[in-house]
């Protein structure tokens, strides 16, 4: 190659836009060549990092602080600034909330790999601006090869970790089908446009946040342990991750491109499906090509109920969230909670007593309604609710041993599900919770396809009386059967007041999802907090068994804890509970978006 100055050089083409030479190669000696290579690499890396950093900076400047945003026109709140940005841009160019949901979902699969996913599932609540509400169940299903005792050893004991780690822990993923199914019915922009931002983020990379850097370092050993070739896992690198490092995911980009080109078949058939099944076969996985081909998400009738002046729409089984939430709210109507105050011993006591009873019902009666006759009407019946309330002693805790489910006849949570709330410029609202269960699911990346598989099989009851990862108990209603969906606690919820949209809310948090959504609603309705206040407020949780109130650090004053102890409650402190992303419609019709300060969550309004 000959440079302008007549010397033979490697980089003579490097001129800036004003035609100034930015790389000088005066002499063709080895020293200069090495030096120039170093300079070139430096320039390329810096340009690339600046480009990414710049886009984040410009984006951050468009809202107040990302945690709380106000708008007249629309709102996006998700667990990651880059995913929020994708949703925001789709809305800005005229997409509706379903379009934004699709963009956000695929973006989260790239920029929030701990929970955003292709290899998981979830639930969508969608309210059109005309008041019609739809819900989509795209929860994972057990493989056709699954069977009731698949996690038990010869003596009938649960084999520790088998439903949590490695290939055998996964259910058949539902997310890609869910996105396509919802888009087909309600989307307005072409699917290919909506998935494109995710492809770009995977191909070009994004800058990891400090929380993410810590998280990737924390899980490095687990990724190495559970992957055949950890060198192919792009979350594993030799040096420690630091804030601002660039994460590029080439294989994931190719998988997303196959979905863009072939829709459903880009994931459930062809190369992606073959890579997924090869991954299963490389370990003790049981998912087959047939399982993938047969997977379809299901439209469900939302669970509805009234709470004071509000109407609640939430998720039906295979999630327990809707039934449990409506039970809790209906019981709460029997108590003057606003008079009791948000953090008084009295309020915490009665909420705990209600939660204890609701989780007992959940353990016995809830499971995938395609396989189990869930007594929804009976569980939500006013007389039954009143009978449960009557059992509550205002001055004394009931022992969980004494609380039984309706008679028809150790928490180790991490923030690894994700919820997002969206309202578009026409007032259509999406409330969506999605997960691969634990942080980074089964820890297994599908080799060559770059995405993580879920460990959702742990949400089944492997054996009656043996708690799952979240300490939840279950029985026949939630036993493993081929093609069945494992019971979830995910609670994407929409509230109306006077027939108009009032709130869009949801959260991750395993078994604490239901109680976190419940508390957030009470904080706004009974304790008159803003959305931001309600989301930031410290939380507590009780789930029948173990018989403990779990309390976030600093949630309650010592004197209140003493009072609770005096009533017979055991209180245990723990790290954060839930990560709520929600939107409130204020009396003037404008929106308040609230992104949980516990995470990198980000809210942005459309002006
Ligand atoms: O579906 C469920 O209820 C669980 N797989 C959710 C897990 C979860 O929220 C973990 N993150 N915090």
Ligand 1 atom showing the smallest separation from residue 578 Cα: 12
Ligand 1 atom showing the smallest separation from residue 414 Cα: 12
Residue range 417-432: mean pLDDT, rounded: 98
Domain membership of residue 503 (yes or no) is no
Phi then psi for residue 482, to 5 deg, are: -60, 135
- Structural domain count, the chain: 1
The answer for 549, left when phi > 0, alpha when psi is -120 to 50, beta otherwise, is beta
Q: In whole angstroms, what is the distance from residue 340 CA to residue 327 CA?
A: 20
Domain membership of residue 470 (yes or no) is no
Q: In whole angstroms, what is the distance from residue 232 CA to residue 595 CA?
A: 33
Q: How far is the CA of 19 from the centre of ligand 1 (A)?
A: 56
Domain membership of residue 599 (yes or no) is no
The residue whose CB lies within 8 Å of the most ligand 1 atoms, and thus the one to mutate among 437, 487, 509, 550, is: 437
Residues 6+ apart with CB under 8 A from 423: 74, 75, 97, 429, 430, 501, 504, 583, 585, 591
Residue range 406-435: mean pLDDT, rounded: 83
Q: What percent of the chain has pLDDT over 90?
A: 86
- Per-residue pLDDT of 374-388, as tens digits, reads 999 999 999 999 999
Domain membership of residue 277 (yes or no) is no
pLDDT of residue 244: 97
Dihedral sign for Cα 367, 369, 370, 372, please.
Answer: positive
Question: Cα-Cα-Cα-Cα dihedral of 193, 198, 203, 208, to 10°?
Answer: 150
Residues within 6 Å of ligand 1 by CB: 413-417, 435, 437, 456, 459, 488-490, 508-510, 513
Residue 8: band (very low, low, confident or very high) from pLDDT cuts 50, 70, 90: very low
Contact between 91 and 606 under an 8 Å Cβ cutoff? The reply is yes
Residue range 67-76: mean pLDDT, rounded: 95
Q: How far is the CA of 509 from the centre of ligand 1 (A)?
A: 6
Contact between 83 and 107 under an 8 Å Cβ cutoff? The reply is yes
Ligand 1 atom showing the smallest separation from residue 456 Cα: 5
pLDDT of residue 406: 87
Residues 6+ apart with CB under 8 A from 204: 48, 52, 248
pLDDT of residue 273: 99
pLDDT of residue 64: 58
Residues 6+ apart with CB under 8 A from 298: 136, 137, 138, 370
The residue whose CB lies within 8 Å of the most ligand 1 atoms, and thus the one to mutate among 489, 552, 601, is: 489
With 0-12 / 13-18 / 19 or more C-beta atoms within 10 angstroms meaning exposed / middle / buried, residue 588 is exposed
Domain membership of residue 459 (yes or no) is no
Q: How far is the CA of 470 from the centre of ligand 1 (A)?
A: 8
- Per-residue pLDDT of 93-120, as tens digits, reads 999 999 999 999 999 999 999 999 999 9
Ligand 1 atom showing the smallest separation from residue 139 Cα: 1
Ligand 1 atom showing the smallest separation from residue 459 Cα: 5
Residue 49: band (very low, low, confident or very high) from pLDDT cuts 50, 70, 90: very low
Q: In whole angstroms, what is the distance from residue 555 CA to residue 567 CA?
A: 18
Contact between 357 and 391 under an 8 Å Cβ cutoff? The reply is yes
Ligand 1 atom showing the smallest separation from residue 508 Cα: 9
* DSSP reduced 3-state for 264: coil
Residue 416: band (very low, low, confident or very high) from pLDDT cuts 50, 70, 90: confident
Reply yes or no on whether 418 is catalytic.
no
Q: How far is the CA of 50 from the centre of ligand 1 (A)?
A: 36
pLDDT of residue 607: 83
Domain membership of residue 34 (yes or no) is yes
State how far Cα 283 lies from the chain centre.
27
Does pLDDT of 500 surpass 80? yes
Lowest mean pLDDT among 18-32, 48-62, 177-191: 18-32
Give the closest residue (by CA) to ligand 1 atom 5: 437
Q: Could you tell me the strand order of the sheet in which 549-552 lies?
A: 540-541, 549-552, 571-574
pLDDT of residue 400: 95
Give the closest residue (by CA) to ligand 1 atom 2: 488
Q: In whole angstroms, what is the distance from residue 121 CA to residue 173 CA?
A: 6
Q: How far is the CA of 44 from the centre of ligand 1 (A)?
A: 41
Give the closest residue (by CA) to ligand 1 atom 6: 510
Domain membership of residue 28 (yes or no) is yes
pLDDT of residue 38: 53
**Cross-strand pairs, 75:** 423, 605
Lowest mean pLDDT among 7-21, 206-220, 223-237, 400-414: 7-21
Give the closest residue (by CA) to ligand 1 atom 12: 509
Lowest mean pLDDT among 9-13, 93-97, 361-365, 476-480: 9-13
Residues 6+ apart with CB under 8 A from 603: 63, 66, 67, 68, 69, 75, 76, 77, 84, 581, 593, 594, 595
Lowest mean pLDDT among 100-109, 263-272, 412-421, 582-591: 412-421
Does pLDDT of 422 surpass 90? yes
Q: Which is catalytic among the residues 25, 78, 272, 417?
A: 417
Residue range 312-336: mean pLDDT, rounded: 98
The residue whose CB lies within 8 Å of the most ligand 1 atoms, and thus the one to mutate among 470, 473, 575, is: 470
Does pLDDT of 532 surpass 80? yes
Give the closest residue (by CA) to ligand 1 atom 9: 510
Q: How far is the CA of 414 from the centre of ligand 1 (A)?
A: 9
Find where tokens 């997960």 sit: 435
With 0-12 / 13-18 / 19 or more C-beta atoms within 10 angstroms meaning exposed / middle / buried, residue 92 is middle
Q: How far is the CA of 511 from the centre of ligand 1 (A)?
A: 7
Domain membership of residue 38 (yes or no) is yes
> Which tokens sit at 368?
């995938």
Q: Containing domain of residue 32, as a range? A: 9-56
Q: How far apart are the first and last CA of the chain?
A: 52
Residue 414: band (very low, low, confident or very high) from pLDDT cuts 50, 70, 90: low
Q: How far is the CA of 87 from the centre of ligand 1 (A)?
A: 23
Does pLDDT of 408 surpass 90? no
Lowest mean pLDDT among 29-38, 70-79, 522-531: 29-38
* DSSP reduced 3-state for 511: helix
* DSSP reduced 3-state for 135: strand
Buried b / exposed e across 60-90, counting CB within 10 Å, b at 16+? Answer: eeebeebbbbbbebbbbbbbbbbbbbbbbbb
Does pLDDT of 431 surpass 60? yes
State how far Cα 80 lies from the chain centre.
11
Residue 16: band (very low, low, confident or very high) from pLDDT cuts 50, 70, 90: very low
What does the angle CA 332 – CA 338 – CA 344 come to, to the nearest 5 degrees? 90
More confident call, 425 vs 47: 425
As separate numbers, helices (DSSP H) first and strands (DSSP E) second, the chain gives 18, 19
pLDDT of residue 415: 56
Residue range 14-37: mean pLDDT, rounded: 36
H or E element in which residue 419 lies: strand 417-423
Does pLDDT of 54 surpass 60? no
- Per-residue pLDDT of 150-163, as tens digits, reads 999 999 999 999 99
The residue whose CB lies within 8 Å of the most ligand 1 atoms, and thus the one to mutate among 115, 138, 417, is: 417
Mean confidence (pLDDT) of the chain: 90
Q: In whole angstroms, what is the distance from residue 573 CA to residue 8 CA?
A: 70
């Amino acid at each position: 190659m000959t440079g302008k100055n007549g010397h033979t050089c490697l980089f003579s083409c490097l001129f800036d836009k004003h035609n100034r030479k930015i790389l000088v190669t005066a002499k063709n000696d080895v020293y200069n060549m090495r030096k120039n290579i170093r300079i070139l690499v430096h320039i390329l890396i810096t340009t690339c990092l600046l480009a990414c950093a710049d886009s984040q900076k410009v984006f951050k400047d468009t809202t107040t602080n990302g945690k709380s945003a106000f708008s007249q026109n629309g709102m996006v709140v998700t667990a990651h600034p880059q995913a929020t940005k994708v949703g925001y841009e789709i809305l800005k160019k005229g997409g509706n909330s379903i379009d934004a949901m699709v963009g956000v979902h695929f973006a989260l699969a790239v920029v929030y790999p701990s929970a955003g996913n292709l290899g998981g599932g979830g639930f969508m609540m969608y309210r059109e601006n005309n008041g019609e509400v739809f819900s989509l169940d795209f929860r994972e299903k057990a493989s056709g090869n699954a069977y009731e005792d698949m996690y038990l050893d010869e003596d009938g004991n649960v084999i520790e970790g088998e439903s949590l780690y490695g290939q055998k822990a996964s259910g058949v993923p539902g997310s890609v089908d869910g996105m396509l199914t919802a888009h087909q019915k309600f989307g307005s922009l072409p699917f290919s446009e909506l998935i494109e931002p995710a492809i770009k983020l995977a191909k070009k990379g994004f800058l990891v946040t400090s929380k993410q850097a810590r998280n990737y370092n924390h899980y490095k050993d687990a990724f190495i342990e559970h992957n055949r070739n950890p060198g192919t896992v792009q979350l594993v690198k030799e040096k420690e991750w630091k804030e601002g490092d660039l994460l590029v995911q080439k294989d994931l980009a190719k998988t997303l491109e196959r979905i863009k080109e072939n829709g459903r078949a880009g994931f459930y058939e062809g190369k992606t499906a073959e890579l997924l099944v090869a991954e299963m076969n490389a370990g003790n996985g049981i998912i087959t090509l047939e399982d993938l081909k047969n997977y379809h998400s299901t439209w469900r009738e939302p669970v509805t109920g009234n709470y004071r002046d509000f109407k609640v729409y939430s998720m039906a089984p295979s999630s327990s969230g809707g039934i449990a939430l409506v039970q809790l709210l209906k019981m709460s109507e029997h108590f003057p909670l606003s008079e009791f105050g948000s953090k008084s011993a009295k309020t915490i006591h009665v909420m705990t007593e209600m939660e204890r009873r609701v989780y007992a019902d959940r353990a016995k009666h809830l499971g995938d309604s395609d396989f189990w006759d869930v007594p929804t009407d009976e569980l939500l019946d006013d007389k039954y609710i009143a009978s449960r309330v009557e059992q509550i002693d205002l001055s004394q805790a009931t022992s969980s041993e004494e609380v039984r489910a309706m008679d028809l006849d150790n928490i180790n949570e991490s923030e690894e599900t994700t919820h997002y709330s969206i309202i578009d410029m026409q007032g259509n609202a999406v409330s969506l919770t999605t997960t691969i269960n634990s942080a980074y699911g089964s820890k297994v990346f599908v080799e060559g396809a770059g995405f993580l598989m879920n460990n959702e099989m742990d949400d089944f009851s492997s054996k009656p009386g043996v708690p799952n990862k979240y300490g939840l108990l279950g029985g026949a209603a939630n036993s493993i059967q081929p093609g069945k969906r494992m019971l979830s606690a995910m609670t994407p919820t929409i509230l109306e007041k006077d027939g108009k949209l009032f709130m869009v809310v949801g959260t991750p948090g395993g078994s604490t999802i239901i109680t976190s959504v419940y508390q957030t609603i009470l904080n706004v309705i009974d304790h008159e907090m803003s959305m931001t206040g309600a989301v930031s407020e410290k939380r507590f949780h009780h789930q029948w068994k173990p018989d403990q109130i779990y309390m976030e650090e600093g949630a309650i004053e010592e004197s209140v804890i003493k009072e609770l102890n005096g009533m017979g409650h055991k209180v245990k402190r723990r790290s954060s509970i839930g990560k709520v992303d929600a939107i409130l419609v204020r009396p003037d019709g404008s929106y308040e978006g609230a992104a949980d300060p516990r995470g990198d969550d980000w809210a942005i309004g459309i002006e």
